[in-house]
């Protein structure tokens, strides 16, 4: 009986540790990243990859506790779309209009290109303030 209680306590402790480890992290870096990401003028994104290169304008908008990317593909042709954004401690993940799974890493030191990333299809993205 004692062993069963000990196992149960260990499982509960492990579950609590897992829940804490997987919960969203709201750190100073995260707040700085969100402040930068949500700039009112938005971003000019330059991308290049196996199928060519182009320019996209992106505005990130907070809607309650969620963030949405409003995307306008400018070059090589005009296209618009809107997708939900997953915000991590120092990363942002969302789908582009034509390229899914864009994961951006925030670099608070780089004032020229604070967000850079790559997609599973091999496209590299650089975000510059508009």
Band of the pLDDT at 26, cuts 50, 70, 90? very low
* CA pseudo-torsion sign 100, 105, 106, 111: negative
Is 88 within 8 Å of 104 (Cβ atoms)?
no
pTM of the model: 0.75
Domains in the chain with CATH codes: 25-129 (2.40.128)
Distance (Å, whole) CA 12 – CA 34: 34
Residue 105 carries which DSSP code?
E
- Would you call 111 exposed, middle or buried from its count of C-beta atoms within 10 A (0-12, 13-18, 19+)? exposed
Band of the pLDDT at 42, cuts 50, 70, 90? very high
pLDDT at position 29 over 80:
no
Per-residue pLDDT tens for 64-117? Answer: 889 999 999 999 889 999 999 999 989 999 999 988 999 999 999 999 999 999
CA angle 82, 60, 96 (to 5 degrees): 40
Residue 42 carries which DSSP code?
-
């Amino acid at each position: 009986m004692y062993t069963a209680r000990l196992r149960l306590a260990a499982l509960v402790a492990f579950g609590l540790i897992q829940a804490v480890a997987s919960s969203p992290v709201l750190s100073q870096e995260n707040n700085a990243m969100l402040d930068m990401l949500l700039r009112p003028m938005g971003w000019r994104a330059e991308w290049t990859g196996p199928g060519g290169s182009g320019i996209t304008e992106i505005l990130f908008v907070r809607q309650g506790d969620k963030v949405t990317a409003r995307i306008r593909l400018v070059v090589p042709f005009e296209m618009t779309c809107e997708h939900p954004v997953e915000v991590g401690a120092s990363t942002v993940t969302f789908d582009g209009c034509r390229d899914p799974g864009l994961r951006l890493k925030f670099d608070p030191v780089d004032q020229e290109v604070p967000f850079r990333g790559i997609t599973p299809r091999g496209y590299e993205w650089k975000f510059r303030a508009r």
